[in-house]
Structure formats: structure tokens, C-alpha cells
């Protein structure tokens, strides 16, 4: 192991498409205000912490030098495990400039992105089958933001989720199978393991 080299993950994005994590969606098209609501998946903070620890361990082993998360302004914000749109809250999401400011002395800066999306769907009447897929990328930069490594992996055939839509007058109700917290974590781990094999 090179004692001179160490790295931080300064940008770690995990995104999950809305249709894969929204269990129930109700839309009343006759109303202009407060016309829709939905219920979806959130991850326990422990799973978010596990994602960070898994990444640190895997990257340390792959790169051969210490890797840790670059937290700015405290460890993380509030709401860890929830989603802001498609993005998971609770992981580092810093610009390169902020990472250099808050995590000084590091020789490598890592951006890790995991995107769980709908890889295709089949619609039959009011029913739809979604086929999740995951894409994970890793970019490693030197302190001058010169890319020194890039890896990408895409996994398909992760099962099928079913969605049905029911209409009652102006009210549209969608009920869906969703990826639960442990499904999301499991897909993330599969992608991370495959990325480390590249």
C-alpha cells in the first residue's frame, strides 16, 4: 500500500427512479390545489451508513490506499434515508472545490454514482410491468481535477415490478410493487461488487 496516497469520496449519488419507489399515487384531476399525493420508499439511516462503509471498504481494497467519505459542514444534513426527488439524502454531495477545502491533504478525489432506473416496461391495459436496472460509475481525480481512472458497470435483469392504474371519475390511483429499502441496498451492493471487478 502506498502510504503517500489517500482518497476521499466527495460526491456519492444514489438515485432511484420515482416509478420504482412510489407505492401509491393518487391524482385528482378535478382539483387545482392539493390534487395529488404519493407514498414511497425511504431507507433507514443504518442502510445509508452501510452504503458509505461498503464504498469505503471496496474502494480501499480496489485502489490499494485508504479511502473515506468527505463530509462537509458536519457529518451530513437532516433527513438521511429519505429522497429529494430521485436522490437519496445522507451521502456526501460536494463540489470538487469544497472537497479540496474540507478534506485537505488528500491526493485522490472520487465521484461515485449509482442510478437505479426503469430499464424498460410492458403495458397491458391498465397494468404495467417495470424492469429495474442499475448503472454505476466511478471517476477518480488528482488534486488538479485530472481524471486518473474511470469505471462503469450496467446490470439488467433485476426482476419485474407490477403497476396497476384505476380510474374513478377524475381520480387516478396507481398501485405499484416497489423496490423496498433492502432491495435498493442489495442492488447497490451488486453493482458495487461488479464495478470493483472491472
The tens digit of pLDDT for each residue in 24-74 reads 667 777 777 666 656 677 788 889 999 999 999 999 999 999 999 998 765
Distance of CA 133 to the CA centre of its chain: 12
Q: What is the CB-side half-sphere exposure of residue 143 using CA atoms within 13 A?
A: 9
In a domain, 101, yes or no: yes
Number of folded domains that form the chain: 1
Distance of CA 11 to the CA centre of its chain: 11
Which domain range does residue 150 map to? 7-24+40-117+136-154+181-197
The model's pTM is 0.82
In a domain, 126, yes or no: no
Q: How many helices (H) and strands (E) does the chain have?
A: 4, 11
Query: What is the torsion angle, in degrees rounded to the nearest 10, for the CA atoms of residue 82, residue 85, residue 86 and residue 92?
Result: -60
Could you identify the residue written with the cell 466511478?
138
What pLDDT sits at residue 175? 74
Pick from 51, 7, 8, 9: nearest CA to 193? 51
Amino acid at each position: 500500500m502506498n502510504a503517500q496516497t489517500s482518497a476521499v469520496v466527495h460526491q456519492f449519488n444514489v438515485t432511484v427512479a420515482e416509478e420504482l419507489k412510489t407505492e401509491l399515487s393518487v391524482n385528482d384531476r378535478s382539483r387545482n390545489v392539493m390534487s395529488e399525493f404519493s407514498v414511497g420508499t425511504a431507507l433507514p439511516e443504518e442502510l445509508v451508513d452501510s452504503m458509505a462503509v461498503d464504498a469505503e471498504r471496496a474502494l480501499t481494497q480496489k485502489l490499494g490506499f485508504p479511502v473515506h467519505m468527505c463530509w462537509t459542514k458536519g457529518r451530513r444534513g437532516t433527513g438521511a434515508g429519505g429522497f429529494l426527488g430521485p436522490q437519496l439524502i445522507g451521502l456526501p454531495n460536494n463540489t470538487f472545490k469544497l472537497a479540496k477545502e474540507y478534506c485537505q491533504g488528500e491526493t485522490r478525489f472520487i465521484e461515485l454514482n449509482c442510478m437505479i432506473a426503469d430499464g424498460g416496461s410492458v403495458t397491458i391495459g391498465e397494468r404495467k410491468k417495470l424492469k429495474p436496472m442499475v448503472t454505476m460509475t466511478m471517476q477518480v481525480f488528482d488534486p488538479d481535477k485530472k481524471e486518473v481512472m474511470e469505471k462503469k458497470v450496467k446490470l439488467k435483469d433485476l426482476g419485474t415490478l407490477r403497476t396497476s392504474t384505476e380510474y374513478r371519475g377524475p381520480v387516478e390511483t396507481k398501485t405499484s410493487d416497489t423496490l423496498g429499502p433492502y432491495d435498493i441496498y442489495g442492488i447497490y451492493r451488486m453493482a458495487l461488487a461488479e464495478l470493483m471487478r472491472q
